[in-house]
Structure 1
């Protein structure tokens, strides 16, 4: 994990205990996972729009927003970024088609 992501993850964890009136992140925790999930979805759509517009600066900014909101949702779920990285490492070298075919059917 990069230092920036480690610091961000630590900041998010600390803000979980903060007063919602004084912290956007604490406000997300107070509103609950449905709000976090909606914000993550909104940021994903904004990234798609920026990507289709081929707006480099907007793609960069929206990517940062998406990662931030993903980290908030992961924190709420009790999942650390290192766990996501471990899953990516587990998949490394495996064809995406093969990996997807090996997933359980819902």
Structure 2
């Protein structure tokens, strides 16, 4: 799984650095953060719907869309997959990790 995510992230990064006309990834980068966030939100909602409909094939397809758009967001924000991996490794070491209170949302 890590290999395919790395390959996809590399393609996204390449599109960002070497735009190709007609590329959907370039379209997202050109439109900017608002469009990328809109797509992450839309695809996440579609994951919820596919889960409620109990349709495995739709859920897999929508999860792939969420992963792709999330990777675009990470790349847009200059966050590497290694940064995510490190954080997941830290979290994996925790036991009895009850969620803390969420901090207030700022800059909306």
What TM-score does the superposition give when structure 2 sets the normalisation length? 0.86
Q: Give the aligned partner of residue 60 of structure 2.
A: 60
Q: Structure 2 unaligned segments of length 5 or more: list them.
A: none
Q: Give the aligned partner of residue 50 of structure 1.
A: 50
User: How far is 1:105 from its partner?
Assistant: 3.2
CA 1:50–1:104: 2 relative to 1, 3 Å: closer
Q: Structure 1 unaligned segments of length 5 or more: list them.
A: none
Q: Deviations along 1:4-49, whole A, 9 cap, x unmatched?
A: 1111000000111314x42000000000011000000000000000
Q: Give the aligned partner of residue 73 of structure 2.
A: 73
Structure with the larger helix share: 1
What TM-score does the superposition give when structure 1 sets the normalisation length? 0.88
Query: Partners of 2:2 and 2:81 in 1: how far apart?
Result: 10
User: How far is 1:96 from its partner?
Assistant: 3.5
Secondary structure of residue in 1 paired with 2:19? coil
Query: Partners of 1:95 and 1:34 in 2: how far apart?
Result: 36
Secondary structure of residue in 2 paired with 1:58? helix
Moved over 6 A (4+): none
Q: Give the aligned partner of residue 4 of structure 2.
A: 4
Number of equivalent positions: 102
Secondary structure of residue in 1 paired with 2:44? helix
Matched, 1:94 2:95: yes
